[in-house]
């Protein structure tokens, strides 16, 4: 495997930690960042190729400092993995504007700012790979995902557009869309549930909350295996624009594609009816 420098956000636990561990084991150089950098060092121990760094992705000053520290130590960054994130799960009317802004501050604006800080290094090198951890919720929405899925849909639109802008500099952008992966994601340490507040939603709200609570630490996907898959994506000469992680994710993307196609066909004539009959139409 080619030796690369990785910069990983949210490496204190879950997917980020397993990725940092796997990358080190594969002989990679790793700037492993976390809100409390010492948690990474505690989990992984001392390692010559490991640089644990403090980074809350909502803190711009910390972003600049962490990227600069990685550049200073390793001379550049080859693979950026925007992994830090959490789910705010709840019915939209039971969430608040503050909940929505906090969700986007971490999952979207944090990811934007880390990417903004790293891209100049990658452009200078004329190579790089930005790997954005989205979710099956970035391609398919469902009740209780109005904030979380909206944030991951934003990550996906951003990633596809960015890929088009940086391709000529030898920079790849890949979306990773996990299904349910066995991490702390659904644990009270990570997930935020909306407080039940509206009687009309009481039954649905309770049903969804218990659905997620029952899945906490019971998910099918293995974060260590996802880490191995991400290592392979970084090694691929032509990495995919979007990679679905886990059979549940694959099945849900298949279902979403089929649903989109069926609806597109059902409404095709009305869609076409919008075309104007202009003399100067460009086609
Ligand atoms: N597990 C799943 O089923 C699943 C499915 C689809 C997508 N994902 C995505 O996978 C990514 C990783 O989640 P996970 O499953 O590994 O969950 P996790 O075990 O809860 O880990 C989340 C990580 O994100 C970090 N984080 C949260 N807010 C942060 C912030 N403001 N700045 C820096 N780090 C922050 C956490 O740090 P602290 O330790 O400091 O809290 C932790 O390291 C997320 O983007 C999540 O949306 C997960």
Atom of ligand 1 nearest to the CA of 105: 31
Residue nearest to atom 17 of ligand 1 (CA): 185
Q: Which own/partner contact pairs does 106-112 have at CB distance under 8 Å and 24+ positions apart? A: 106/57, 106/58, 107/148, 107/151, 107/152, 107/154, 107/155, 108/151, 108/154, 108/155, 108/158, 109/58, 110/9, 110/57, 110/58, 110/84, 111/9, 111/57, 111/82, 111/84, 111/85, 111/155, 111/158, 112/158
- Is pLDDT of 240 > 80? yes
What digits encode the pLDDT tens for the residues 86-127?
Answer: 999 999 999 999 999 999 999 999 999 999 999 999 999 999
| 282 domain-assigned | no
Spot the catalytic one: 148, 151, 205, 244. Answer: 148
Q: Is 152 an active-site residue?
A: yes
| 51 domain-assigned | yes
Q: Cα–Cα distance between 237 and 233 in angstroms, integer?
A: 9
- Is pLDDT of 180 > 90? yes
Q: Is 261 an active-site residue?
A: no
CA of 74 to the centre of ligand 1 (A): 25
Residue nearest to atom 25 of ligand 1 (CA): 10
| 92 domain-assigned | yes
Spot the catalytic one: 152, 159, 244, 249. Answer: 152
Q: What is the pLDDT of residue 145?
A: 98
Q: Which residues is 88 bridged to in the sheet?
A: 192
Q: What is the pLDDT of residue 56?
A: 98
What digits encode the pLDDT tens for the residues 193-232?
Answer: 999 899 999 999 999 999 999 999 999 999 999 999 999 9
| 221 domain-assigned | yes
| 242 domain-assigned | yes
Q: Which domain holds residue 136?
A: 5-271
- Is pLDDT of 280 > 90? no
CATH number at residue 238: 3.40.50.720
| 47 domain-assigned | yes
pTM of the predicted model, to two decimals? 0.98
What pLDDT band is residue 35 in, cutting at 50, 70 and 90? very high
User: How many structural domains comprise the chain?
Assistant: 1
Residue nearest to atom 40 of ligand 1 (CA): 35
Q: Is 140 an active-site residue?
A: no
The dihedral of CA 111, 39, 75, 27: what is its sign? negative
| 279 domain-assigned | no
Q: What is the pLDDT of residue 283?
A: 59
Q: Cα–Cα distance between 180 and 40 in angstroms, integer?
A: 23
| 49 domain-assigned | yes
Q: Cα–Cα distance between 143 and 141 in angstroms, integer?
A: 7
Lining ligand 1 with CB less than 6 A are 9-10, 12-16, 34-35, 55-58, 83-87, 106, 110, 133, 135, 178, 180-181, 183-185, 190, 219
């Amino acid at each position: 495997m080619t030796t690369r420098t990785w910069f990983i956000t949210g490496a204190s636990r879950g997917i980020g930690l397993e990725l940092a561990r796997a990358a080190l084991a594969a002989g990679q150089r790793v700037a492993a960042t976390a809100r409390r950098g010492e948690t990474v060092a505690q989990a992984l121990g001392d390692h010559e190729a490991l640089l644990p760094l403090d980074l809350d992705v909502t803190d711009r000053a910390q972003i600049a400092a962490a990227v600069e520290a990685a550049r200073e130590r390793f001379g550049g960054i080859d693979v950026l993995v925007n992994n830090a994130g959490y789910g705010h799960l709840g019915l939209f009317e039971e969430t608040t504007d503050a909940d929505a802004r906090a969700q986007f501050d971490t999952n979207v604006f944090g990811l934007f700012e880390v990417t903004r800080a790293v891209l100049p290094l990658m452009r200078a090198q004329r190579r790089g790979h930005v790997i954005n951890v989205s979710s099956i919720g970035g391609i398919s929405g469902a009740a209780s995902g109005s904030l979380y899925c909206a944030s991951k849909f934003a990550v996906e639109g951003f990633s596809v557009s960015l890929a088009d802008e940086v391709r000529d500099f030898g920079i790849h952008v890949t979306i990773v869309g996990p299904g349910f992966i066995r991490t702390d994601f659904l644990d009270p340490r990570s997930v935020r549930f909306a407080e039940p507040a509206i009687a009309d939603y009481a039954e649905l709200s309770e049903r969804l909350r218990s659905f997620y609570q029952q899945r906490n630490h019971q998910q099918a996907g293995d974060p260590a295996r996802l880490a191995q898959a991400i290592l392979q994506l970084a090694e691929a000469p032509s990495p995919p624009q979007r990679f679905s992680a886990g059979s549940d994710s694959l099945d849900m993307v298949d279902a979403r594609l089929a649903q989109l196609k069926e609806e597109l066909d059902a409404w095709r004539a009305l869609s076409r009816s919008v075309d104007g009959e202009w003399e100067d139409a460009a086609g």
